[in-house]
Amino acid sequence: MSIVTSSFIPPQRTLMGPGPSDVDPRILTALAQPTIGHLDPLFVDLMDNTKKLLQFAFQTNNALTMPVSAPGSAGMEAVFVNLVEPGDKVIVCQNGVFGGRMQQNVERCGGQAIMVQDDWGCATDIHKLEETLKKHPDAKAVAFVHAETSTGVRNDAKALCALAKKYGCLTIVDAVTSLGGIELAVDEWQIDAIYSGTQKCLSCVPGLSPVSFSQTAIEVIKKRQSAVQSWFLDMDLVMGYWGQGTKRAYHHTAPVNSIYALHEALLILHAEGLQAAWQRHADKHQLLKVGLENLGLEFVVKQQDRLPQLNMVRIPDGVDDALVRQRLLNEFNLEIGAGLGVLAGKVWRIGLMGYGANTKNVDYCINALSQVLVKS
Amino acid sequence: MSIVTSSFIPPQRTLMGPGPSDVDPRILTALAQPTIGHLDPLFVDLMDNTKKLLQFAFQTNNALTMPVSAPGSAGMEAVFVNLVEPGDKVIVCQNGVFGGRMQQNVERCGGQAIMVQDDWGCATDIHKLEETLKKHPDAKAVAFVHAETSTGVRNDAKALCALAKKYGCLTIVDAVTSLGGIELAVDEWQIDAIYSGTQKCLSCVPGLSPVSFSQTAIEVIKKRQSAVQSWFLDMDLVMGYWGQGTKRAYHHTAPVNSIYALHEALLILHAEGLQAAWQRHADKHQLLKVGLENLGLEFVVKQQDRLPQLNMVRIPDGVDDALVRQRLLNEFNLEIGAGLGVLAGKVWRIGLMGYGANTKNVDYCINALSQVLVKS
């Protein structure tokens, strides 16, 4: 196959899958501003303001709060490679795809992952976690996913962290799909290390991973016996670049334009306010729920454990999963998500994230689904 | 300090430092196109065409050719974590900052880095490399930097690779600043693993790292005894996503808009042609050289080892380094680069990369320098 030599002009999709979500046009405009140097004093100021806005979004005073220059999976890896040393025991709660990825990370750091398993679509059982904590008093950390993108389940981050702390463990939280969409309070909940993504409820383009580390986590990093196995993600080095003051040590070239976009996304969240953003996600979820149920579609996750921003419904018997998604994409320019892992072919995942959590998207999705389901 | 709540509007700089370089407006336009899903069939097609364009730019048929979703330092790490296992010996040629970073990478993989040192500003001495190869017949790979961004030196990649191959070693090449600016022929030169960056001679925004692995390198990866220590950079997993065919395994969310930009940058290079792009860099370098020498500025690197895209000149006695760069930035919106490491305060680095390698930039830079040097 030969090279296509024409520019790529994408269609205007409505993105209601598990992410990326619809990007606010303001953010695309910010993204396309002229590139400046990554050591330009104006860029250094922008980095500082981005850090402050991330502290606001995470609800933390952690000094070590910044975007990793790579997607959420690299943010996850940044947390694990800095905190886990060979031989460390980490309790990982899994009830979907991303808990499994945490296990991979622990093991690739030479650590031992003690798994707390719950069914996909159910919340992590806090009693199981407590039993595991009792059995492994030498565990260094407890890790779990706040908003499981693969199932639409909300794990009770506040309660899980409180329990982990009671047993003297570090707390590691995946907030890729939760940040900006549901309540999250890093300092109040005693989260020691957290990572997120830009392409979910921040409605920014994909490619960066905001992270934050508590003072406790920093002390653990400082006392490491072994070097961090990743040079790119070594927080000691990264902080020389993202640290305080005007003197920055060159580490890598920051993705300048992506930072413009993240900054703009965080300004939008700041202007709306966290409470208002969380409420909007809850409200639009209610609207979508009514619409989906009117179409006869059933939610998989129990009501109290559902994420407003990721709605997982069972595919009705006799309906062709791939055909429906293909028709939505081709006839309506509408993307919804397929099932992942054990849920592939059994569910759809409908996202209501950030800018995309609005009445117009809800109505459009319900309308499109009603037409495609009748005819498919 | 409180949060600044206004949007960030960067000035229009002229970027003539070590990168990022001036971005072609066509690329910024591509960057700001509407985001589509990372598993959208149209995006999968775009990924395929991007791979083909990268094969063209690298002059390779390597199937494993793709952009890593993170900056050049992550591309470097992708190469080392996949190829180096604990105990492996890697010969690293260092004559600047980036050779030292390679050493760090080898050691963090548990490997042993055998260093071939040359002075910063001089090319790697091929005789030293041969002596080292003779002393270490068990070395697995030879690694070096093609275009040392920290000094403006071109290492003779073709000759160094030929020698490494004669001794049965894998060849690992840093092409961050060379790709698109000077001759580079991955297959002809028998390069087994190579990484580059988007923000140098491709004139794209920073944030991605094109990489390519030969069939020999893939065989080495397949025969690994230990798991790759990075989940995010594990080529086995990444290839499931960037691989052939329409069936892609989800690995991470690709930075969709950054791929739009890279695709456009590669289309521009393809339309100009590699030979023409290399010649343009050489021609503009000649023009700049005459201008700089007329101002009494001296090059540090010997003529035959100079990179056209990165011009390192000595700061004249009595001239205030920081003040000159500050005045260029503030009065002319012109960025040139400072010295790195042992060369800090002693040299300037003037970039002529990609879109920025044009007569207008050369004239502007010479004019600005002539005004600032007279008055400083």
Give the domain ranges of chain B: 14-20+274-375, 25-270
Confirm if B265 and B207 have CB atoms less than 8 A apart: no
Q: Tokens at residue B312, please? A: 């390192």
β-bridge pairing A14-16 and B64-68: unpaired
CA B349, CA B299: separation in Å to the nearest integer? 10
Tell me: pLDDT of B292 over 60. Answer: yes
pLDDT tens track for A98-154:
999 999 999 999 999 999 999 999 999 999 999 999 999 999 999 999 999 999 999
Find the mean pLDDT for residues B358-372: 98
Assign residue A359 a region: left if phi > 0, alpha if psi is -120 to 50, beta otherwise?
alpha
Predicted local confidence at residue A374, as pLDDT: 83
Residue with tokens 């005819």: A375
User: What is the mean pLDDT of the segment spanning B99-126?
Assistant: 97
A355 contacts: CB under 8 Å, gap ≥ 6: A21, A22, A23, A24, A203, A268
**Are the folds of B14-20+274-375 and B25-270 the same?**
no
Looking at CA atoms only, how far is residue A127 from chain B in angstroms? 30
For the cut 60, the answer to whether the pLDDT of residue B223 exceeds it is yes
Separation of alpha carbons B9 and B113, rounded Å: 45
Check residue B19 and report its DSSP letter. S
The pLDDT score that the predictor gives to residue A229 is 96
Structure letter (DSSP) for residue B24: P
CB within 8 Å of chain A, chain B residues 25-84:
26, 28-38, 40-43, 46, 48-49, 52-53, 56, 69-74, 76-77
Residue B247 has pLDDT above 70, yes or no: no
Task: Check B252 against A42: CB less than 8 A apart.
Answer: no
Q: Say what the pTM is.
A: 0.97
Q: Which residue has the tokens 């793709």?
A: B66
Which pLDDT belongs to residue B375? 61
Selection from B1, B68, B57, B27 nearest residue B257 by Cα: B27
How much is the pLDDT for B242? Answer: 82
Q: Given an 8 Å threshold on Cβ–Cβ distance, is A15 in contact with B36?
A: yes
pLDDT in tens, B125-150: 999 999 999 999 999 999 999 999 99
Does B245 contact chain A (CB < 8 Å)?
no
* B197 Cα to chain A: minimum distance (Å): 10
* Chain B residue at shortest CA distance from A100: B231
Read off the DSSP letter of residue B120: T
295-314 of A, contacting B, C-beta below 8 A: none
Per-residue burial over A45-81, b = 16 or more CB atoms within 10 Å of its CB, e = otherwise? ebbbbbbbbbbbbbbbebbbbbbbbbbbbbbbbbbbb
Which helix (DSSP H) or strand (DSSP E) does residue B282 occupy? helix B274-294
In the predicted structure, residue A289 carries a pLDDT above the cut 60: yes
Token pair recorded at residue A367: 């309308």
Q: Which residues of A touch B104 (CB under 8 A)?
A: 231
Strand arrangement of the beta sheet that strand A334-338 belongs to:
A14-16, A334-338, A347-351, A310-314
Nearest residue on chain A to B199, alpha-carbon basis: A253
CA B262, B264, B267, B272 torsion-angle sign: negative
pLDDT at residue A245, rounded to an integer? 56
User: How far apart are alpha carbons B123 and B151 in whole angstroms?
Assistant: 10
State the smallest CA–CA distance between residue A76 and chain B in angstroms.
Answer: 9
Question: Do residue B36 and residue A13 have CB atoms under 8 angstroms apart?
Answer: yes
pLDDT at residue B218 in the model: 95
The alpha carbon of residue A234 is apart from the nearest alpha carbon of chain B, in Å, by: 11
Provide the percentage of residues in chain B whose pLDDT is more than 70: 98
> Which of A231, A242, A244, A333 to substitute to test the interface with B, most B CBs within 10 Å?
A231
Q: What is the pLDDT of residue A40?
A: 96
**Bond from prior residue into B20 cis (ω within 30 degrees of 0):** yes
CATH code for A14-20+275-375? 3.90.1150.10
Q: Mind giving me the DSSP string for B52-114? A: HHHHHHHT---SEEEEESS-HHHHHHHHHHHH--TT-EEEEEESSHHHHHHHHHHHHTT-EEE
Q: Give ∠ CA A293-A297-A300 in degrees, rounded to 5.
A: 105
Element (H, E) at B210: strand B209-213
B7: contact with A, CB 8 A cutoff: yes
Residues of A in contact with B244 (CB under 8 A): none
Query: Stretch A165-180: mean pLDDT, rounded?
Result: 98
Rounded Cα–Cα distance for residues B2 and B46 (Å): 42
Contact indicator for B198, B58 with CB cutoff of 8 Å: no
Burial (0-12, 13-18, 19+ Cβ within 10 Å), B230:
buried
Please state at what angle helix B157-166 crosses helix B126-135, rounded to 10 degrees: 20
The pLDDT of residue A376 is: 55
- Residues of A with Cβ-Cβ distance to B251 under 8 angstroms: 73
Nearest to A66 by CA among A204, A161, A178, A208: A208
Taking only the tens place, the pLDDT of each residue in A295-333 is 999 999 999 999 999 999 999 999 999 999 999 999 999
Q: Is B322 on the interface with A (CB under 8 A)?
A: no
**Euclidean distance between CA atoms B316 and A344, whole angstroms:** 66
Q: What residue in A sits closest to B6 (Cα-Cα)?
A: A267
CA neighbor of B192 nearest in space, from B134, B255, B246, B144 = B144
Do B15 and A23 lie within an 8 Å CB cutoff?
A: no
Which of A106-110, A140-144, A241-245, B28-32 has the lowest average pLDDT? A241-245
**Are the C-beta atoms of residues A145 and A162 closer than 8 Å to each other?**
no
**Which member of A29, A52, A232 has the closest CB to residue B77?**
A232
Sign of CA dihedral A242, A247, A253, A259: positive
A24 touches chain B (CB under 8 A): no
pLDDT at residue B324 greater than cutoff 80: yes
Residue B240: pLDDT band with limits 50, 70, 90: confident
In the prediction, which pLDDT does A21 show? 97
Answer with the residue of higher pLDDT: A236 or A191: A191
- The reported pLDDT for the residue numbered A320 is 96
* Facing B69 at nearest CB: one of A26, A29, A207: A207
Which H or E run includes B209?
Answer: strand B209-213
B205 in contact with A, Cβ within 8 Å: yes
Can you give the pLDDT at residue A1? 67
Q: Is the pLDDT of residue B374 over 90?
A: no
User: What is the 8-class DSSP label of residue B153?
Assistant: E
Q: Supply the pLDDT for residue A217.
A: 97
The per-residue pLDDT for A344 is 94
Please give the pLDDT value at position A261.
98
Query: How much is the mean pLDDT over chain A?
Result: 96
What's the confidence (pLDDT) of residue B239? 82
Neighbouring C-alpha atoms within 13 Å toward the C-beta of A146:
30
Answer yes or no: CATH 3.40.640.10 is held by domain A25-270: yes
Query: What's chain A look like in SS3?
Result: CCCCCCCCCCCCCEEECCCCCCCCHHHHHHHCCCCCCCCCHHHHHHHHHHHHHHHHHHCCCCCEEEEECCCHHHHHHHHHHHHCCCCCEEEEEECCHHHHHHHHHHHHCCCEEEEEECCCCCCCCHHHHHHHHHHCCCCCEEEEECEECCCCEECCHHHHHHHHHHCCCEEEEECCCCCCCCCCCCCCCCCCEEECCCCCCCCCCCCCEEEEECHHHHHHHHCCCCCCCCCCCCHHHHHHHHCCCCCCCCCCCCCHHHHHHHHHHHHHHHHHCHHHHHHHHHHHHHHHHHHHHHCCCCECCCHHHEECCEEEEECCCCCCHHHHHHHHHHHHCEEEEECCHHHCCCEEEEECCHHHCCHHHHHHHHHHHHHHHHHC
Cβ of residue A253 closer than 8 Å to a chain B Cβ: yes
pLDDT at B245 (0 to 100): 56
Q: pLDDT grade, residue B99 (50/70/90)? A: very high
Question: B14-20+274-375: what fold?
Answer: Aspartate Aminotransferase, domain 1 (3.90.1150)
